């Protein structure tokens, strides 16, 4: 078998250049910021059997849009997170949460949230927020309006 030496050299050069560019870009991002991330995990349901202790946390306007009658607070969590680092947290006993954030050049924070129960996915979404802003993340299933999951997420950068 004949090897095309110039082509291999060109590929190696391009790969090295790409890696160096990525490293330079990573360095350009600067030091990783710290943020305080607050989560309220709420289960919304149409069943009258459940508690309604988190109804006050959910904005009234949103409640009027949703068809749930009960809002149960499953857990609240506060964690200190490092930028571009996946933070894992156990919430509501058997749920595993993963939170990761990155500060955008315009100062806004892009937060990625994932919630799982054992191997089942409950929520995976991302939001771009201002520091200190609370955003409502919700999850439900198609044609199944009996249950929903609501996460109130507040991300505040630590100076």
Regarding 55 and contact with other proteins (CB under 8 A), the answer is: no
> Does 133 sit near other proteins (CB under 8 A)?
yes
User: Of the two residues 55 and 136, which places its CB atom closer to other proteins in the complex?
Assistant: 136
The nearer residue to other proteins, 97 or 148, going by C-beta atoms, is 148
Site for other proteins in 89-118 (CB under 8 A): 117
Question: Could you tell me the smallest distance in angstroms from the CB atom of residue 82 to other proteins?
Answer: 23
Evaluate whether 41 touches 92 at the Cβ level (below 8 Å): yes
**Cα distance between residue 32 and residue 84, in whole Å:** 7
> Tokens standing for 117?
């129960």
Which CB atom, from 27 or from 106, has the smaller least distance to other proteins?
A: 106
Find the binder of other proteins among 122, 131, 156, 157 (CB under 8 A): 122
Residue 52, interface with other proteins (CB under 8 A)? no
Closest CA to 117 of 94, 100, 98, 139: 94
- Our CB check for other proteins shows the closer of 10 and 62 to be 62
CB 125 within 8 A of CB 137: yes
- Residue 2 CB, shortest distance to other proteins, in Å, is 14
Based on the shown chain and the rule CB under 8 A, indicate whether residue 141 belongs to the binding site for other proteins: yes
Residue 57 Cβ, how far from other proteins at the closest point, in Å? 11
What is the C-alpha to C-alpha distance for residues 121 and 102, in angstroms, rounded to an integer?
23
Q: What residues make contact with other proteins under the rule CB under 8 A? A: 59, 61-62, 117, 120-127, 129, 133-142, 144, 147-149
């Amino acid at each position: 078998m004949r090897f095309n030496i110039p082509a291999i050299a060109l590929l190696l050069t391009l790969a090295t250049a790409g890696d160096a560019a990525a490293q330079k870009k990573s360095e350009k991002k600067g030091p990783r910021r710290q943020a305080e991330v607050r989560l309220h995990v709420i289960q919304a349901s149409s069943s009258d059997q459940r508690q309604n202790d988190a109804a006050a946390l959910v904005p009234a306007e949103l409640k009027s849009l949703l068809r749930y009658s009960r809002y149960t607070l499953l857990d609240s969590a506060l964690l200190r997170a490092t930028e571009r680092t996946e933070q894992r947290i156990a919430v509501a006993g058997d749920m595993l949460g993963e939170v990761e954030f990155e500060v955008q050049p315009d100062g806004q924070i892009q937060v990625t949230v994932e919630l799982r129960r054992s191997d089942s996915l409950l929520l995976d979404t991302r939001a771009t927020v201002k520091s200190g802003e609370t955003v409502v993340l919700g999850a439900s299933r198609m044609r199944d309006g009996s249950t929903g999951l609501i996460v109130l997420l507040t991300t505040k950068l630590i100076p």
